[in-house]
Homo-oligomer: A and B are copies of this chain.
Amino acid sequence: MTTQSTIGQRTAKNALFDGFAAVAGAMANGRRAEIIELLAQGERSVERVADAIDQSVANTSHHLRRLARVGLVSTRRDRTRIYYRLTDERVYDLWAALRDVTTRHLDDVDRLAHAYLGDRSEITTITRSELQERLQRDEATLIDVRPRTEYDAGHIPGAIPIPPDKLDELLPQLPTDREIVAYCRGPYCVYADQAVRTLLARGRAARRLEDGYPEWQRSGGLVEKSSAHHRSPT
C-alpha cells in the first residue's frame, strides 16, 4: 500500500466518521433534543413543534430541516400543513440510548432533572412488566395523563384518559380500592409526576410508570387507538 493510498484512506475514513458525527451533531442541541422527544409521541406540524419548544417558527423550521437532512425525521404534507415525524423506531432507540447514558453518567443531569421535575423522592415507580401483571390481576387502575389528542392517537389498553388539568375534576370517579398508576410521555414528562403528587395529597395510593408511552409501544406492548371505545369514567 503506497503512501498516497494511505492518505486517501485517511481522508475517506475522516469523511465516514464525519458522517456519524453529523447525526450526533443533529441531536447536539437542546431544542432539537426536545423535538425528538416530542416527535416520539407522534407527528406534529411545524407550528405545533414551535409552540411546544417555545421557539419561533422560522427557527423551528431550521432545526427540523437539520434533523431531516441527516434522516432522523421525515415529512408528510397534508393540505397546507407539513407534518414531521421520527423516520422510524430506530431513531427512538438512539434517543433512548442517549437518554440512558446521559442520566447514568452526567451527574449534572440529575440536578437539572430535579430542577425541572421537582423533588421525586416521594414518587415511586413501577416497571412495564410489573404494570402488565397488575393489570391482568385487576390490581391497579391505569390513567393516561397526556393531552387528549395523544391519548386518541394511541394508548395502553385499559388506560383511562385523564388530561393533566382534569385530574381533580375526574378523581372522584376513580375506584378507591385499587392503586392508581399514571403514565405519560416518558421518564422526563412532568404530567405523571404531577398526577401522582396530586393523588398522594388526596390520600390515594399512586405510582408512576417508570418510563412512558413510547417505551411501552417500542417494547412491543399492546396499543389501543381511540376509534375503539375506552373505559371512560364519565
Contact = CB atoms under 8 A, between A and B. Distances in A.
A171 interface: no
Contact of A37 (B17, B18, B98, B188): B17
B21 A29 contact: yes
Nearest to A23: B102
Given A72-B101, A72-B105, A104-B90, A14 B30 contact: yes
Interface of A: 9-10, 12-25, 27-34, 37, 54, 70-72, 87-88, 90-91, 93-94, 97-102, 104-109, 112-113, 115-116, 188, 190
A12 B30 CA distance: 11
B98 A94 contact: yes
What is the predominant secondary structure among interface residues of chain A facing chain B? helix
A24 B98 contact: yes
B16 A109 contact: yes
A101 B25 CA distance: 13
21 contacts: A12-B115, A14-B31, A15-B30, A15-B115, A17-B34, A18-B33, A19-B109, A20-B98, A20-B102, A21-B27, A21-B29, A22-B28, A22-B106, A23-B102, A23-B105, A23-B106, A24-B28, A25-B25, A71-B107, A72-B101, A90-B104
Given A14-B30, A19-B30, A90-B100, 4 more contacts: A17-B33, A19-B108, A22-B106, A25-B29
A201 to B, nearest CB: 15
Contacts of A37: 17
B98 A19 contact: no
Contacts of A91: 101, 105
A85 to B, nearest CB: 13
A24 to B, nearest CB: 4
A36 to B, nearest CB: 9
Given A98-B94, A101-B90, A106-B70, A30 B34 contact: no
Nearest to A93: B97
A101 B22 CA distance: 12
